[in-house]
Amino acid sequence: MRYFTEDDVRRLLRWDELIPAMEAALAAFSRGRVIQPVRNILTIEEGKRYVAAMPAITEEAMGAKLVSFYPGNAGSGVHTHHAVIMLMRTDTGEPLAVMDGRLITEMRTAAVSAAVTKHVAAPDARVLALIGSGVQARAHLQALAQVRRFEEVRVWSRTPEHARRFAQAHGAIGMEAEDAVRGADVVVTATAALTPVLKGAWLKPGAHVNAVGAPRPTWRELDDDVMAHTLIVDSREAVLKESGDVILSKAKIFAEAGEIFTGLKRAPTGTTVFKSVGIAAEDIAAARLVHAAAMREA
């Protein structure tokens, strides 16, 4: 049984394979073909240290991710997320691999946003606004470039120096949050915010929002005006337990992403919001890609 390091994952996992794999994983989930509970989160220190267990059984593979979420690490030089994934065969139960899950978490989150964006954002979307300038902002910039051609990328961070460095490294423009969002076709919120950093009044008609931060039931990135738009989620059950944006706004869920991917629900028009908390089926599908790519090399 092989162990894959983060460097191995970086070498083996490709966006052009990962994005369609996330579509397939969420489609299977929404069809009821995945066995998985909502993640079990243990609080070590409120607001600073959490650990979660995320098992899933799919038709192709099964396994579990153990992930730590330490927002208290922000600014320390240590990642806020660390994870390990165990991958096993569904048919025999045999273990196949263990791998570092930090980069998988980063990439699959952005790949899911890209899959949703491909289906619901305006085909001629040209302006991207990133609210947050950390690893998820970078991953979303890479993933979303696979599904739309952005001519302008704007970025905002609570720490202006972080936004300046991100802008310099990625050819983006640092702006105040409102200025970055106004006129943007696609907006990403990827922050550790406890209270809303995105206001619905800033959104242009027809904009699409991918919201991947604020992963606790009392935390928010989006105000009620944002949440009043057409809402898509990765898992109804998960967001109603974990997402403060959904719970506190009492927003009506239009569809799971997998329902749109399978045609069970039509792709909505107008202004749309995708609230993502991440589910284990995504991790297992991504881990399976890493393992399969390694087997092709052998």
Which residues form the domain of 20?
Answer: 2-104+281-297
Tell me, what amino acid is at 133? Answer: S
Tell me what percent of the residues of the chain surpass a pLDDT of 90: 94
Q: Mean pLDDT across the stretch 200-217?
A: 96
pLDDT tens column, 43-61: 999 989 999 999 999 999 9
* 215 has a pLDDT exceeding 80: yes
Please check whether residues 141 and 257 belong to one and the same domain. yes
Q: What is the pLDDT of residue 71?
A: 87
For residues 122 and 254, membership in a common domain is answered with yes
CATH number, position 23: 3.30.1780.10
Band of pLDDT at residue 1, cut at 50, 70 and 90: confident
Q: Pairing relation of β-strands 62-69 and 81-88?
A: antiparallel
Q: 147-193: per-residue pLDDT in tens?
A: 999 999 999 999 999 999 999 999 999 999 999 999 999 999 999 89
Q: What is the CATH number of the domain that holds 123?
A: 3.40.50.720
Q: What is the pairing mode between strands 208-211 and 127-131? A: unpaired
- Asked if residue 12 and residue 134 are part of one domain, the reply reads no
Q: Are 219 and 293 members of one domain?
A: no
Instruction: Enter the DSSP assignment of 207.
Output: -
Query: H or E stretch including 100?
Result: strand 95-100
- Enumerate residues 6+ apart whose C-beta is below 8 A from 266: 260
Angle of CA points 115, 216, 108, to nearest 5°: 25
Rounded to 5°, the CA angle 246-106-15 comes to: 110
Total domains in the fold of the chain: 2
Question: What per-residue confidence (pLDDT) applies to 132?
Answer: 96
